[in-house]
Structure 1
């Protein structure tokens, strides 16, 4: 299963229909919870997502709408008996804020949470799922975006395997060794498979346009990106360190993004269609104007 579960889509002030931020990326057996704002624990319940699905807590920065739900999530992990380990990634410059949120109240701690403060650009976590990369963004406080990259691989072709008479356990041996000896000679992996590009995901929150935004978005299948303001408020966006929907769409268009998810909307707007319309003038790919409790799947492999 690879999908984005949207838990909240508001910016600084939540509304009647939009909770503070919260985004869970389910990626095979991993669960990356990005920016758990206030109310995330309840939103997970409404979305049907158990605490046990979380394996990583990823905080972009320590403004309240991106982190005030962290104490509740941390305590819920222990309440539900999740052994972990769960890795917590956050800007190292905000260590004091992480410490306060991590131990905000008294509770019986069960879950092992491993802090992994982010100090700069580059890989911050590697595993069977691929590589998680952080890039510094441009915001009044230090902020990092995240990019998840699955390594490229090979897809086995049943028709080619059949042509060479390879089946059963021999397929696994061929994948492991890169070649397999048959009665007619040696068959290489390249002869019975085709390239399978790895999937890519990016999460870009509170930032002005900067090199980091483009580095995160380059060639991704699914881009989740803030679009706090409509274009008419471009001056406000620049002043407060945010993107307009037109800027977010331009990033997607210039970076070859396949599916664009717009979110983090200012409370001043009550018509989501305006965000779609402005983005569609610039980006001709698939556009999702995020709503609370919706699910967005990863596009099929290229």
Structure 2
């Protein structure tokens, strides 16, 4: 029998998500891993909490012990290694502090921090002690920080109504120590809804995208931060990674999934949804 030629093992970039599990599959680690896969990046995960949720909302949240989160991160980095990582829902002060300490201990670079402090509707998701620890312990390690409108208001200590407000917030939040800040306009109305503001200490950029009319937008924040991390893992510099991530999210919104009785998720795997109108909404 002729010996089969060894074609070798493919090399692939690796990214890690440190976030909660969404049982409905629209956000959290489920959205992050699909986003990594779309970008041909191997996805790994450190789960911080488990939620019972669907398109109608969250019914229950159970936090994992901080020691479990730390162990997951260490297991991944010490064996597989990662080229980029992102944080999502960290839930409480002890988990945030543990993750921040582990980020430093493992010397993680290319870290995208999605603060997940306040929802897009303005509801506070973590308590004040957790926010304080996020601000002082984790944000200074961020390569890119991605607050939504309400999170930016809290971190920048100002009201955001206009593009100028977003620019001021990005510059103020930058002082917390992140290498770059992306203030997202998704919580605003009109022309600013699909506009984000970038500031990295030198460049103040307005990043506009096409506005997609759909009610199925669950997981957009998770998806954007995961896409930035994936592009960082692929070697793109932060601003380019962010621009590419916005393009991905915009297209995924065009193929948002009309599932469930509430707010469906974006279509992370949209190449598979083309011409499949049964599963997509415009």
Give the TM-score, by structure 1 length.
0.34
* Greater fraction of residues in strand: 1
Give the TM-score, by structure 2 length.
0.35
Structure exhibiting the larger radius of gyration computed from Cα positions: 1
* Greater fraction of residues in helix: 2
